[in-house]
Chain A
Amino acid sequence: MAEIATAILMVIGGAFMLLAGIGIFRMPDLFMRMQAATKAATLGIGCMLLAVAIHFQDVSVATRALLVTAFVFMTAPVAAHVIARAAYSVGVPLWEGTLRDELGEKQRGGEGKGKESAGGGSAYGGSSLRSDGDGQ
């Protein structure tokens, strides 16, 4: 019974890791790539470490496996958020099929639909998070 659960969890975890790789390879945009990679890889290694905890049936091993799982589940969204914010602030282009850029609209004063007053100021200033218009 434990072997079956271990095998199933390992195959599911490997499949999620494969999905993370495909996502980061195929997605058209940094932010899409990031969300595919972060979520799929986090779920994949969650399954994999749960398989470790079930397979060894030892309290210390299970504790370490759950500790790593909890650590990754807490830090992966933080890391994704931080790198997404940094990438947006230096003006990494969005996908051309993007429909709404709510953060950019809000920072340009709230009235914009995305095309007005690019300005072309320095992207490295501290206050304005994104200063190069619609990011095409």
Chain B
Amino acid sequence: MTFLASTLVGNTLVASAATVALGMAGIGFSLAFIRLVRGPSLPDRVVSLDLLGTLSVGIIAAYDIMTDQPILLDAATVMALVAFLGTVAFAHYVERKGQDG
């Protein structure tokens, strides 16, 4: 609670919406992580890793609004790039090595 009070900037409507959005995105992140751990095949894990990267872009954006620091958008840009390149590279790996590579 002190963390929230120290980071919020007075606007309670946007702040509570950011809290709700971060909570929902965090639950989605946890579910994707569970799928990453117990996904039966390698492509399942690649898909959930891609979702983790995409969700982290959204979480960075919500945290951006929550703390009023637009500079974090650069981190979101890099995160989107890395998620895409990682997915494409893993797809090439899967196609070459097979399912249990």
Q: Which residues of A contact B (CB under 8 A)?
A: 3-4, 6-8, 10-11, 13-15, 17-22, 24-25, 30, 33-34, 37-38, 41-42, 44-45, 48-49, 51-52, 55-56, 58, 61, 64-65, 67-68, 71-72, 75-76, 78-80, 82-83, 85-87, 89-92, 123-124
Please report the number of residue pairs spanning A and B whose Cβ atoms sit closer than 8 angstroms.
Answer: 192
Known: A20-B51, A75-B80. A90 touches B43 (CB 8 A): yes
Known: A7-B14, A124-B98. A83 touches B64 (CB 8 A): no
**Docked-complex contact A79 and B50, CB < 8 angstroms:** yes
| Interface of A, helix, strand, loop or mixed by DSSP | helix
A-B complex: 7 closest residue pairs judged by Cβ atoms: A21-B28, A14-B21, A7-B17, A21-B31, A87-B43, A14-B24, A45-B58
**Docked-complex contact B24 and A37, CB < 8 angstroms:** no
Bound-state CA distance A24–B90 (Å) is 18
Q: Which residues of B contact A (CB under 8 A)?
A: 11, 13-14, 16-18, 20-25, 27-32, 34-35, 41, 43-44, 46-48, 50-51, 54-55, 57-58, 61-62, 64-65, 70, 73-74, 76-77, 80-81, 83-84, 87-88, 90-92, 94-96, 98-99
Bound-state CA distance A61–B73 (Å) is 8
Min C-beta distance of A46 to chain B, whole Å: 9
- Excluding A4-B13, A45-B54, A51-B61, 15 further A-B contacts by CB distance (< 8 Å) are A10-B21, A13-B25, A13-B61, A14-B21, A20-B51, A21-B31, A33-B35, A37-B50, A41-B51, A52-B64, A82-B91, A83-B90, A87-B94, A90-B94, A90-B95
